[in-house]
Chains A and B, each alone.
Chain A
Amino acid sequence: MIRRGTGKRSMGLGMAGLLALTLLLQACASGGNSGKTEASPTTTPSASASESASTSAEPSASEETKLDPYEVTIVYFGKPQQDDALVEEKLNEFFTEKINATVKLQPIASSEYKNRTELMMNAGEKMDLVFTASWLNYFGNVTKGAFLELDDLLEKYGQGIKQELHPLYLEAPRMNGKLYAVPTNKEITQGKAITYRKDFVEKYNIPIDTINSMADLEPWFEKVKADSPEITNFFLAGGSGNFTSGFLMYEGQSNWRPIGPVPAKTPMFLLDYKATDMKVKSVLDPEIVDLNKKELELYRKYYEKGYINSDSGTSTTAIDDYRKQGKIWTQTTTWKPGSDIELQLADNNQFEYVSHVVEEPIVTTDLAAGSMFSISRTSKNPERAMMVLNYLHTDPYVINLFVNGIEGKHYTKVGDNRIEPIADSGYSPGIFWVVGNQLKNYLKPGQPDDLYENWKKFNDEAKQFPLMGFVFDDTNVKNEITQMTAVVNEYKVIFTGAVKNPSKELDQRNAKLKDAGIEKVQAELQAQIDAWLAANKK
């Protein structure tokens, strides 16, 4: 039928033709693309220079300004709501009057947020205010150049923000000394606590203030198990992605706190936060190994005695489901003022809770940078973006409009500073912790009147982690970290008590970690810490 010769020749020609066509089309596409992305940063300074010269620097003054209209895109972490358009309209009314700006709300649902924003950043799409956080790879994105430097902008247009925020808040998102994001005002950190069902504490007279570790709980586990065997004393869900190996492993028993990379959510490097020498230890260090083994053997003992649920190795159930049914009487929690009431509300007011804070709240970089807004490098008017952000931190009207919706339609005001949300109203995005200033939100049912005073006090009293502001740059040790992640994942299950001989398994794991290069990472971490300390001598 076909002679092979002709086939091959036309194949070659055809290939060449197709390749040429493809390259041509790509060149057009990329030319347009790179043209766009390069254009934006260069046009912004010239435009804003003329604008800032002609406008007043006071963002809150509602005088007639000569600002050009501009649409500020707000990309934020929240589920799209039915009435987003209505709220956006009202927001536009406000901002047009104040600074001749409009906003475009772009809520993105939680599970897509990271992927979609990174896609938008990779494609160079125009964005202004972008929600980010330490757990959304904020620092990685800063290194890649996603966000603009904010110090100048903050000085000029963000005075309100500076007044409202605790100063530590502005230290955490710094990278090499420069600020790239503005945290949302709320509780600046959380303490770790053990929370108890009040009725159990009263029944057994448990001195919760003296219990600071899982080991201390043993006599009480024994009593509860004897009286009520269907109650799970210590619930662990080893199969869940949320499982962090050993929640109170270090806190309450030692001064070691995690620093540096955390492969598979397991701390590998620790630092004595009360010491002055800032020397990093790894999990291979004998002192740490002893601590780990002690706790692991304890968990195993608990498992064998039936205090830990028998499916701890694979369970993915959220502890809240069991707690609502009354099957859990104690758990470890992260704590801030008002947590106990929140827990009670979450369980439909069935039970009351009390907590004992085991670890005093320390402000770490991760926690203080847990909810922030940055300005994207693709913004065409960063000044306006900063002005909008300033309003979102200072003006209770616009904050509550954004967070709670329109009065009468989405909530009813029952007091000076108190509201009751209307069920199924079409707007309940749950973004009180995402936007601006939570301390200016209207209080909701169940929240005590003095909640915000307590928070302010909490924030003021929180201790600063000595290395707050330090961020580890993993560029040189990416390969080692991938190896370590693989090892840690494989051995995660020993922290659930479901495995025999956990100490032996731990030794195996540590040997593999050594092969994976953990010492190289430790050296890198120490070097970076020393450099940071030298540069930031406080």
Chain B
Amino acid sequence: MMFPALLIVVLNNYLPMFGVFIAFKNINYTDGIWGSPWIGFKNFEFLFSSQSIWRITRNTVLYSLTFMVVNLVLSVGIAVAISELRGRLLAKGYQTLIIMPYFLSMVVVSYLVYAFLNPDRGFVNVLLETFGADRVFWYSETEYWPYILTLVNAWKGVGIGAVIYIAAIAGIDPEYYEAAVIDGASKWRQTIHITLPSIQPIIIIMTILSMGHVFNSDFGLFYQVPMDAGALYPVTDTVDTYVYRVLMELNDIGMSSAAALVQSVLGFILVLATNATVRKINREQALF
């Protein structure tokens, strides 16, 4: 039964896996990938000896964790709320509307944000000035950006993120609710004791899987939206943007592979650790 899918996974993912070695080689075209010389960990040096390593790691990890929590709470909240709304037509309407931001590319989003935060004509500054406040040079002040980025990320992602939970809630056997109503449980109690526990397995799985990407970041969000403004780097530079910027002119495929490998390995370790923890608490809900 699993064979076709398994075959595809092997072809698509495992066969090309030899590319992982590129991180340890100095590739030249004459020798090709197989024949090029091994250079150990040399490709990794630029990352670890970087002046910015603490900053970019801290940024990446903190943002990833924050986004995970914020988006989870909001997505689940929206899913529960939508499932409870009385007008089903309205509910469907809202659902369609709130997933729309997901389909915009980060480039377009960065333009929209710029329309808001442009020092001269941005909506926000115009509003501030109407109320007599000073205008803010958004693209040079770092303090606002963690909030701005979290907001943009949530705006873009919670609509579509809620879909999974809405589907999950739709699959809950209505009999549970009927039984609860008979017992006189309020809506709130029903949510806490039936709805949430029923989608708990999904939440757990999503969390474990997201752990694998804690050391990665949404490149578009951290590069395009802040308009690549140098003054903002202390709070917007992540591993991905850093690697992209510094390797753009060097064209070294080995070094970029090395950086990606580091992110993957660290994420992998995190997933194993999270999974093991979940296993201890509730074996059924662990990933493996």
Q: Which A residues are closer than 8 A to B by beta carbons?
A: 18, 21-22, 25-26, 29-30, 33-34, 37, 118, 121-122, 124, 137, 140-141, 143-146, 239, 261-264, 310-311, 313-314, 316, 377, 474, 478-479, 481-483, 485-487, 489-493, 498-499, 512, 515-516
With a CB–CB cut-off of 8 A, which chain A residues contact B52? 486
Contact A25 B10 (CB under 8 A): yes
Contact: A22 with B17, CB < 8 Å? yes
Q: Is the CB of A516 within 8 A of B51?
A: yes
| B230 sits at the interface (CB 8 A) | yes
Question: Can you name 28 A-B residue pairings with CB atoms under 8 Å?
Answer: A22-B10, A26-B15, A26-B18, A33-B34, A34-B35, A37-B32, A122-B29, A124-B32, A140-B251, A143-B28, A145-B30, A145-B31, A146-B29, A474-B250, A478-B252, A479-B46, A482-B250, A483-B49, A483-B51, A485-B246, A485-B248, A486-B246, A489-B228, A489-B230, A489-B245, A490-B233, A493-B231, A515-B51
Chain B contact residues, CB within 8 Å of chain A: 10, 14-15, 17-18, 27-35, 45-46, 49-52, 114, 118-120, 139-140, 227-231, 233, 242, 245-253, 255
- The answer to whether residues A478 and B255 also contact, given A311-B120, A483-B50, A486-B242 and a CB cut-off of 8 A, is yes
Are A263 and B45 neighbours in the complex by a CB distance under 8 Å?
no
In the complex with contacts A26-B15, A122-B33, A493-B50 CB distance below 8 A: no
Please, how many angstroms separate the alpha-carbon atoms of A498 and B230 in the complex? 12
Which one of B34, B35, B49, B139 contacts A313 once the chains associate, using CB atoms below 8 Å?
B139
Asked if A33 meets B246 with Cβ closer than 8 Å, knowing A478-B46, A478-B252, A482-B50, the reply is no
Least CB distance, A318 to chain B, in whole angstroms: 15
B95 to chain A, nearest CB (A): 35
Chain B neighbourhood of A482, CB < 8 A: 46, 50, 246-247, 250, 255
Question: Which residues of the other chain, A, contact B118 by a CB distance below 8 angstroms?
Answer: 311, 314
| CB neighbours of B35 from chain A (8 A) | 34
Contacts of B245 in A (CB 8 A): 264, 485-486, 489
**Closest beta carbon of chain B to A362's beta carbon, Å:** 22
Chain A nearest CB from B227 CB (Å) reads: 5
Residue of B nearest to A479 (CB): B46
Chain A residues with Cβ under 8 A from B229's Cβ? 239, 313-314, 493
Contacts of A493 in B (CB 8 A): 140, 229-231
Residues of B within 8 A of A313 (CB): 139-140, 229
A34 near B249 with CB under 8 A, answer no
Q: Which residue of B lies closest to A25 (CB)?
A: B15
A478 to B120, CA, bound (A): 40
Complex: chain B residue closest to A144, CB-CB: B28
**How far, in whole Å, are A483 and B50 apart by their CA atoms in the complex?**
6
Return chain B residues, CB-CB under 8 Å to A145.
Answer: 28-31
Inter-chain contacts of A263 with B (CB < 8 A):
249
Chain B proximity of A436: nearest CB distance (Å): 25
Which residue in A18, A121, A310, A489 is a CB contact (below 8 Å) of B29? A121
- In angstroms, Cα B51 to Cα A489, docked, is 14
Pick the most buried of A314, A377, A487: most chain B CB atoms within 10 A of its CB.
A314
Whether A486 pairs with B51 at a CB distance below 8 angstroms is: yes
Separation in Å of the B132 CB from the closest CB of chain A?
20
Closest 10 CB pairs of A and B: A145-B30, A482-B246, A144-B28, A490-B230, A479-B46, A482-B46, A485-B246, A146-B29, A145-B29, A144-B29
Q: How far is the CB of B31 from chain A (nearest CB, A)?
A: 8
- Interface on chain A toward B: helix, strand, loop, or mixed SS? helix
Compute how far the CA of A378 lies from the CA of B182 in the bound complex, rounded to whole angstroms. 78
Whole-angstrom CA separation of A528 from B118 in the bound complex: 46
Q: A141 touching B29 by the CB < 8 A rule?
A: yes
- The answer to whether A478 and B140 touch (CB under 8 A), given A25-B10, A34-B34, A144-B27, is no
Contact B10 A21 (CB under 8 A): yes
Give the complex CA separation of A37 and B31 in angstroms.
Answer: 9
Specify the chain A residue showing the minimal Cβ separation from B252: A478
Cβ–Cβ < 8 Å partners of B227 in chain A = 239, 314, 316
**Minimum CB–CB distance for A486 against chain B, Å:** 5
Nearest CB of B to A467, in Å: 20
Task: Indicate if the CB atoms of A311 and B119 lie closer than 8 Å.
Answer: yes
B246 CB contacts on chain A under 8 angstroms: 481-483, 485-486
Cα A310 to Cα B28 in complex, Å, equals: 47
Which B residues are CB-close (under 8 A) to A487?
Answer: 51
| Cβ-defined contact, B32 with A33, below 8 A | yes
Contacts of A516 in B (CB 8 A): 51
List residues of chain B with CB within 8 A of the CB of A146: 29
**Chain A residues closer than 8 Å to B242, beta-carbon distance:** 486
Q: Which residues of A contact B120 (CB under 8 A)?
A: 310-311
- By a CB distance below 8 angstroms, the chain B residues around A485 are 245-246, 248-249
Bound Cα distance from A218 to B56, whole angstroms? 42
Give complex CA distance A311, B139 in Å.
10
Which of chain B's residues has its CB closest to A147's CB? B29
Could you tell me the distance in whole angstroms from the C-beta of A176 to the nearest C-beta in chain B? 15
Can you name 17 extra interface pairs (CB under 8 A) apart from A144-B27, A377-B30? Answer: A22-B17, A34-B32, A34-B34, A124-B29, A124-B32, A144-B28, A145-B30, A146-B29, A261-B249, A311-B119, A314-B119, A481-B249, A483-B51, A485-B248, A485-B249, A486-B50, A515-B51
**A512: B residues at CB distance < 8 A:** 51
Residue in B closest to A141 when the chains form the complex, CB atoms: B29
Q: In the docked arrangement, what's the CA distance between A262 and B255, Å? A: 19
Contacts of B34 in A (CB 8 A): 30, 33-34
Residues of A contacting B32 in the complex (Cβ-Cβ under 8 angstroms):
33-34, 37, 122, 124
Q: Which residues of A contact B251 (CB under 8 A)?
A: 118, 137, 140
Chain A residues, CB < 8 A from B31: 145
Q: How many Å lie between the Cα of A481 and that of B249 in the bound state? A: 10
> Which residues of chain B come closer than 8 Å to A124, judged between CB atoms?
29, 32
Asked if A22 meets B15 with Cβ closer than 8 Å, knowing A34-B35, A311-B119, the reply is yes
A264 to B245, CA, bound (A): 8
The answer to whether A30 touches B10 (Cβ under 8 A) is no
Q: Taking the nearest CB of chain B, how far is it from the CB of A263, in angstroms? A: 7
CA–CA, A487 and B233, complex, Å: 10
Question: Which of B17, B27, B247 has a CB less than 8 Å from the CB of A122?
Answer: B27
Q: How far is the CA of A499 from the CA of B246 in the complex (A)?
A: 23
Of listed B10, B14, B45, residue having the most chain A CB within 10 A: B14
Query: From residue B112, how far is it (CB to closest CB) to chain A in Å?
Result: 14
Instruction: Give Cα A264 to B230, complex, Å.
Output: 12
Alpha-carbon distance between A516 and B53 when the two chains are bound, in angstroms: 13
A499 to chain B, nearest CB (A): 7
How near does chain B come to A498, taking the closest CB pair, in angstroms? Answer: 8
How far, in angstroms, from A18 to B18 measured CA to CA in the complex?
A: 15
Chain A residues with CB under 8 A of B50: 482-483, 486
CA distance A239 to B229 in the complex (A): 7
Q: Which of A21, A261, A313, A487: most chain B CB closer than 10 A?
A: A313
Q: Which of B17, B18, B119, B249 has the most CB of A within 10 A?
A: B249
B17, B30, B118, B246 pick with most chain A CB within 10 angstroms: B246
In the complex, chain B residues whose CB is within 8 Å of the CB of A140:
251
Are A144 and B51 neighbours in the complex by a CB distance under 8 Å?
A: no
Nearest CB of B to A261, in Å: 8
